[in-house]
Structure 1
Amino acid sequence: MNLADMLSYADIGQLSRIATTYQCECNGNSKNDLIQSILSTVNRRDVFEAQIGAMKLEDLRFINSLLFDARDAFSLEELIARVQQSRFSSAEADALTGNGIGQAVSIVETAAEPKKSRTSKAKDSTKAKVKPTSKTKAAKEKQQPEAGPRDTISRFKQYGWLFNGYAGADRYLFQVPTDLKERFKETMERRLVSQVTYTDEEPHAYRDEQMLMGDDVSQLLTYIHLNEISLTSEGNMYKRNVLQLLELFGVKEQLPGKGEWRFGYGRRIKEYPSRMSLLYDYCFYKGWIAETETMLVLTPAGRDRQVSKTSEPPDKLYQFWLRLYKSPIPNIRAIVHWIDKLGSRWVKAETIMSTLTPYIKPFYYDQPETILEQRLISMMMHLGLLRIGEHAEFGQVIRMTPLGRTIVAGQSIDDEAIVLNR
């Protein structure tokens, strides 16, 4: 539903709170007057962009997590989890304790609880006007509770950016108005585009790996079909087989370094290079390969797939990559969307990094810069979604491929992360 539809279902109390937030001048007793005044204010571009411009980084991360989700409605528990994910520092995480699920009913029933009356405090002050000491002030400030998920969700309801249902089970589900989603995306795009540097000149050289990964699916299955591949006690291929496979693939990768931290991006990411690990896990997930106690073999389905010797569709590999990497990078869909938008033409990679890293949460020892450069941009190149070039003036530059723009724009897939069991 669009904003106008959701406002029509809202009660006059919520409408009044939204109107107050936007300082609308209207008849507070007329629901129709409130709705018309809110719509005329919110639909003004300057007002909307001012609201977005004033948002904290954690709020921008939160709204980003909602804009690119395949689902339309979220439970309160899911929203609380999204708010928690948007707060990266440990101090912020500690502040969330006790502010979560137990407050579900009060959030659903009202957008924001009114502040406690200060009348009694005022009366006390008239009896004895004691100037507070610096210690007293510090103690009061220390006692101020940190803002939790409840406050964030309530604030978004006051802006008219979140609405919950009004009957039955839907009463406990929240939605972002459809038209506001598009306006959020457009405003965020303008904001992010202004932070990067473009060049109209072609780089003197660039890498383009379109269709290569799809061909290497067939190469992997054929190699397993033609060779007896023994596995270590941990279930990995021996180094000799890995090196032979890397020679057959369209892209040559280096073996992971000894002691290098690699976890969370696939079953065999610790032992195999990133691109090869994705190929291996894809074939495992499709049920084409199986690991016995000692051997790596093709399944009956894998033998049928190997006989065809066709290239795997790039959109299928992209879907798998999104879902496999979703666990360590929860907002991967949003980041990929912004890389797509910012990479519509050749753009300086360094400015992409500085613009998008604030929206990426560290994953154990993987810092945002590493995640963006190695787990996202490099893998998107391997998937044929973008090109990475070298420019004489700007250094490394990137640009989405036509295939990549089509694939990213056309995806509507299950948003659940893939977990590959051993």
Structure 2
Amino acid sequence: MNLADMLSYADIGQLSRIATTYHCECNGNSKNDLIQSILSTVNRRDVFEAQIGGMKLEDLRFINSLLFDARDAFSLEELVARVQQSKFGVSSVESESVSSEQVISHKTAQKKSTKRMKATKEKQIPETGPRETIARFKQYGWLFNGFAGHNRYLFQVPTDLKERFKATMERRFVSQVTYADGEPDAYRDEQLLMGDDVLQLLHYIQHNEIPLTSDGVMYRRNILQILDLFGVKEQLPARGEWRFGYGRRIKDYPNRLALLYDYCYFKGWIEETSRFLTLTALGKERQTHRIPEQPDKIYQFWIRLYRGPIPNIKSIVHWIDKLSQHWVNAETLTLALTPYIKPFYYDQPETIIEQRLIGMMMHLGILRIGEHNEQRQVIRMTPMGKSIVAGLSIDDDTIILNS
């Protein structure tokens, strides 16, 4: 629902609090006057952008986490958890105490009648911690609470406000990055190569006897032979290099090979026996078609695989897409987005965006990376990348892959 619809369902108490937040001058006893006054104020671009401009970084991270979620409703527990996740560096002890409190309060609220629950929920949000954030977003008219089904108490963000948030944040990001004049001197483009290399990997496994170590890993000789077949060459991981969290075999193989290997494994095309790596019956059937794997399918798998260490990966990819419609200086883009990326153990935000995101997006054929005589390293979305991130299938005839 849009903001106007949600305001019409809100009680006069919440409308009065929203009107007070925006200093609306209207008849506080008239629901219609309150709604009209709120809408006319909130819909003013200067007012909306002033509110966004005054938000703390944790609040921006919080709202950013809601904008790209496929769901349109969230429980109180989910919102409290997201506020906690937006405060980088908060201890786990604090998180556990908040979690325990929210579960107890939620169970207590469920035992009450519908009428009493509404009143109780208004009082449940104290003026400290994550619940203060939720209360503040309700007062802005950015979160509305109600029921969905039997005793399910959920919060929603108005659909039209989501789009305004995205547009406002995009303008902020654009002001922080630098764009290049003209084309780079040279650039790297790997569109469609990863799909071809799925075939190469399966073909090699099908026609070679590949022994495995006791840990189920291919030996160096086989790894190098596979890498020689690929359209993109990679170096083997250094001994003792810190590598975990980004897939099942990220610790054993180079980044791109690890993704392809994990993709084939989870598709059920390959299996690791006690001694050898072989194709399954499903993998052999897949090879009879000799069709390169579709990049959008590998992209979707990558998003799911990397979502653990990078929980907001979809939103960061969205912003990279929006900011890279033209050749953009990679360093300024990294500086703009790193405040929204949480460190993952020894991986700092800069490493995550440069290696785990931009580097892998290039391998997926989503990004081009170039060298510019003035802006140094620059990046730009590929036509295929724009379509894939937008959620389109590459089977769509309107997609131009190599322009």
Match of 1:80 in 2: 80
Decide whether the 8 Å contact of 1:340 with 1:408 is kept in 2: yes
Distance 1:51 1:109 in 2: 28
Q: Could you tell me which of 270, 274, 279 is aligned with 1:298?
A: 279
Q: Secondary structure at the match of 1:397?
A: strand
CA distance in 2, matches of 1:97, 1:21: 32
Gaps of 5+ in 2: 110-115, 394-403
Which blocks of at least 5 consecutive residues in structure 1 are unaligned? 117-144, 413-422
- Could you list the per-position Cα deviations for residues 214-235 of structure 1 after superposition, in whole angstroms to 9, with x for gaps in the alignment? 0000000000000011111111
Following the alignment from structure 2 to structure 1, what is the Cα–Cα distance between the partners of residues 122 and 50? 22
Matched ranges for 1:106-121 at <5 A? 109=119, 113=123
Runs of 4+ in 1 over 2 A off after TM superposition: 93-100, 102-116, 166-171
Match of 1:63 in 2: 63
Identity %: 74
| Residues 221, 306 of structure 1: 8 Å contact kept | yes
In the alignment, is residue 256 of structure 1 matched against residue 237 of structure 2?
A: yes
**Is 1:16 aligned to residue 16 of structure 2?**
yes
Aligned partners of 2:250 and 2:258 also within 8 Å: yes
Q: Are the equivalent residues in 1 in contact too, given 2:328–2:378 (CA < 8 A)? A: yes
Q: Deviations over 1:180-213 (max 9, x none)?
A: 0000000000000000000121110110000000
Alignment of 1:121-270 (within 5 A): 147-166=128-147, 168-169=149-150, 171-270=152-251
The equivalent of 1:380 in structure 2 is 361
Aligned match of 2:255 in 270, 274, 285?
274
Q: C-alpha distance in 1, partners of 2:118/2:216?
A: 49
In structure 2, the partner of 1:344 is 325
2:265 to 284, 298, 304: 284
Which among 335, 345, 350 is matched to residue 364 of structure 1?
Answer: 345
The 2-side partners of 1:208 and 1:284 are apart by 26
CA distance in structure 2 between the aligned counterparts of 1:405 and 1:167, rounded to whole angstroms: 35
CA RMSD of aligned residues (A): 2.0
- For the pair 1:395 / 2:376, whether they are aligned, the reply is yes
CA offset digits 1:31-64 (Å, max 9, x no partner): 1111111111100000000000001101111111
Which amino acid in 1 is paired with 2:34? L
Contact 1:103 1:150 in 2 (8 A): no
Structure 2 CA distance, aligned partners of 1:332 and 1:170? 32
Moved more, 301-310 or 242-251: 301-310
Residue type at the aligned position of 2:39: L
SS of corresponding position for 1:98: helix
In structure 2, C-alpha distance between the alignment counterparts of 1:284 and 1:21, rounded to whole Å: 54
CA deviation profile, 1:229-265 (whole Å, cap 9, x unmatched): 1111111111111110000000000111111111110
Shift of 1:295: 1.0
Give the drift of 1:166: 4.0
Deviations 1:148-199 (A, max 9, x none): 1111111111111111124644751111100000000000000000000001
Alignment equivalent of 1:333, drawn from 295, 308, 314: 314
Could you tell me whether the CA contact under 8 Å between 1:335 and 1:356 is conserved in 2? Answer: yes
TM-score by length of 2: 0.91
* Aligned residue number for residue 321 of structure 1: 302
Aligned with 1:37: secondary structure?
A: helix
Q: 1:98 maps to what in 2? A: 97
TM-score (norm 1): 0.87
| Separation (CA, whole Å) in 1 of partners of 2:139 and 2:120 | 10
